[in-house]
């Protein structure tokens, strides 16, 4: 059964989520640089999963307005 999409946030909420996505993207990039420059073990790059996931959630929520 297909249902019509109903947005549950307005433009202001979508903008906040979009900005959050960019902030988490920048945080992930900064963490990557820190890990590379500090010669941290390769497995520590798994720490990037959290900020990348939060960035993706922010972008997806902004696009779908949910």
Task: Compute the radius of gyration of the chain from its Cα atoms.
Answer: 16
Is 15 contained in some domain?
A: yes
Is 1 contained in some domain?
A: no
Which pLDDT score is estimated for 1? 62
Q: How far is CA 35 from CA 3, 28, 41, 42, in A?
A: 45, 10, 8, 9
Is 55 contained in some domain?
A: yes
Which pLDDT score is estimated for 17? 95
Is 5 contained in some domain?
A: no
**In the chain, how many domains are there?**
1
Which among 64, 66, 62, 47 has a CA at the least distance from the CA of 15? 62
Is 57 contained in some domain?
A: yes
Which pLDDT score is estimated for 66? 84
Is 6 contained in some domain?
A: no
Backbone angles phi, psi at 40, to 5 degrees: -70, 155
Which among 4, 17, 1 has a CA at the least distance from the CA of 65? 17
Is 4 contained in some domain?
A: no
Segments forming the whole domain that contains residue 27: 11-64
- Assess whether pLDDT exceeds 90 at residue 65: no
pLDDT tens digits for range 20-63: 999 999 999 999 999 999 999 999 999 999 999 999 999 999 99
Is 39 contained in some domain?
A: yes
């Amino acid at each position: 059964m297909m249902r019509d999409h109903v947005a549950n946030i307005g433009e202001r909420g979508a903008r906040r989520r979009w900005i959050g996505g960019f902030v988490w993207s920048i945080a992930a990039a900064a963490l990557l640089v820190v890990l590379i420059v500090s010669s941290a073990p390769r497995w520590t790059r798994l720490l990037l999963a959290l900020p990348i996931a939060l960035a993706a959630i922010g972008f997806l929520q902004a696009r779908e307005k949910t």
